[in-house]
Structures are given as C-alpha cells and as structure tokens.
A and B are shown apart, each in its own frame.
Chain A
C-alpha cells in the first residue's frame, strides 16, 4: 500500500530540501527573535521576564507535537509492518527530546523570579518531566536493541504508554489546581494574550518547527543512506 514511498524517490526530495529549510529557518528565527526580544512590549505584571515565554511555550508545544507524531508513526509502522514509518519516527525523536528539555529549563528560569521557586511538583511540571523520561527511554531503546523486529516492538510500546501522558499534560492545568497558569491561547474562545505578544510567539513556534523539520530531514537522510549502502532498493 505504501509502494510510492520508495527510498530512492524519497531521497531525491529529502536530500535537496535541507538547504531551503535552513534558509527559511534562519529568516523566520531572525524575525522572530527581533520581535520577541526587542520589538514586542514588556508585560504589565512580569515586565521583561515575559520574553522567556517566547522560547518556553513553543518548545513545549513542539515536544508534545513530536511525541504525538512518533506515536502515530510507530503505531502505523507496527500495524502495517512498514519499516519506513519507524525510521521517520526515529529521526523525529531527538529534536522532540531537546525541545522538551529546553521547555523544562526555561520554565525553571522563569519560575524563580515569578513564582519564587525553580521547581514545583505540580501536575503540569511533573507531567512534562515524565514526557522527557519517555523521550529518553525511546531514544535509548533504539541504541540498545540491534535486532530490528525487537526495537520496532519495544519503541512502539514505549510510545503507546507515553502517549497517555500527552493529554494529561495538556489538560493538567484545567483538571487540577496547579501552580502553572492555564492556557492563554484558546481556539474556541478569546485568547488572553495580547496580539502584540501573540505574533512573536507564533513566529518563534514556526522557527522551532522548521528547526525540527531540518534535523528530521538530516537524520532521515542518514537512515536512507544506510539502507542504500546495504544494497537494498526497497524498504
């Protein structure tokens, strides 16, 4: 069913794409950082500390998005016995883990001056830490197991268990009393973030998404080259 996904054809596209993505990433990041650090206004209450949010929130979004994606890819790979899905999933994971760590670290840096503490064992912060642990397990599993059959099954299992944590992270601030504030951006109702701050936030999200795509393509190309070198023309 996935015969269009021949490695050679994919490779023709994915080997050329990174330079364009890199260019786009640099442009969006430059504009985004200028907006976030210089042009956007300071907050009425937390003044310049608000600028940490432009790194913190996009990182958290991207890491949650990537975990959902690697779960979807792993499950599809498992159900349809398709190796390509697993390789895509494997190539996506590292940037998700890195952004997860960035979200935790910037959150701590923001928490100290605003909350008055680096760390709080509240539901949102703890579930983000659990997500990082699942990312770590996933990445380590790929290194430990040599046999493909085995590593596919184990990584799928890790993502299936870990995906339950994703909605818990998202809704933790609504379900329980947490120190972490609830979401400012709502699709259905009016957002409680001013448009002059929303714009740089969305730009930074786009920049981080492009960076993840760039790293994904580079990793994925490496995987495809590995297959080529083995002399296999199909997955």
Chain B
C-alpha cells in the first residue's frame, strides 16, 4: 500500500480543493446579481425599487411587436410571463428578429418601459441547414 506521506499529501490536496470550492461557491452565490448578464422582464417587475443605473434586460422579441419608425425601433421583450416595452434608436444586429432572443442595454423609465442604448442579439443553441428549418416549419 501507499506510504504515510502519500496519504498525507492526498489529504492535503483534497482539503485545499474542498476549501477552495466552498469559498468560490459562497462568493458566487452572494454575487449572483452581478454574475448574470441580463435580467428577465419578470425580475424587472418584482424589483423593489427602480434601478437608475444602466442595466440589461433579456428575453424573446414578442411576435408582431417590432415597430420600425424613421428614427426609432420599438418592440416588446417577453419571457412568456411578463413583458417590457423597449425603445431604441440606432442599428440593430443582423440576427435581431421576432421570436428570437435579444438583450437590451439601457435605462428603465418605469416598470413597463425601457430605453435602450444598445441592442445585442442572443443566438440560441439550435444549428441546422435552411432546408431542415423549412421542413420543421411545415410540420
């Protein structure tokens, strides 16, 4: 069998690992708010007080909600429970589309209205050729 020293070194490494894992777990747990890249409309609705700092809201662009006028884009971000109206002036990314993921960066006007300074398209995990997509839609 292994010597005493080998066992001690094994115990030593295990203890360091367990300690570090617990520490990192606690730190991440307490920093959760800052680790998330964006908040959902539901989380915005349940905010106790309005955040005046720059924040990000993410979710799906609601179907038939995109309204493009001369200098502004208006749309609704939904997480299928709650919604938030977003207005933005500027160019949107190519992949920005209805019923697709989006992250808007900007400021809350109130619980239902968000003024975006930057729009990011969130790509989902589905990869397929166009023909397969068409076949899926026909079903």
Contacts and interface: CB of A to CB of B under 8 A. Distances in A.
Partners in one complex: yes
Interface of A: 41-46, 50, 53, 75, 78-81, 113-117, 120-123, 156-157, 160-161, 163-164, 168, 176-179, 181-184, 192-194, 196-197
Given A53-B127, A117-B120, A176-B37, A164 B13 contact: no
Contacts of A120: 37, 120
A184 B126 contact: yes
Nearest to A165: B24
Contacts of B50: none
Nearest to B101: A181
Contact of B127 (A50, A113, A122, A177): A50
B29 to A, nearest CB: 10
Given A43-B129, A114-B95, A181-B122, 5 more contacts: A116-B119, A116-B121, A117-B120, A160-B13, A164-B21
A179 B103 CA distance: 8
Contact of B20 (A78, A164, A196): A164
Given A43-B129, A196-B129, A179 B13 contact: no
A182 B125 contact: yes
Interface string B82-120: 000000000011111000100100000000000000111
A176 B35 contact: yes
Nearest to B91: A116
A196 B92 CA distance: 30
A41 B123 CA distance: 18
Contacts of A53: 127
- For the complex of A and B, the 10 pairs showing the least CB-CB separation, nearest first, are A116-B93, A41-B129, A44-B133, A122-B37, A194-B128, A193-B127, A184-B125, A44-B130, A177-B36, A181-B125
Report the contact-size class of chain B (Cβ under 8 Å from the partner). 35 or more
B38 interface: yes
B16 A177 contact: no
A60 B6 CA distance: 34
A192 B136 CA distance: 13
Contacts of A80: 6
Interface of B: 6, 9-10, 13, 16-17, 20-21, 24, 28, 32, 35-40, 58, 92-96, 100, 103, 118-133
A193 B129 CA distance: 10
Contact of A192 (B16, B35, B127): B127
Majority secondary structure, A binding face: loop
A181 B17 CA distance: 29
B40 to A, nearest CB: 7
A160 B16 CA distance: 8
B36 A176 contact: yes
Contact of A179 (B28, B39, B120, B131): B120
Given A177-B36, A177-B38, A197 B120 contact: no
A177 B6 CA distance: 43
A79 B11 CA distance: 9
Contacts of A78: 9, 13
A75 B126 CA distance: 38
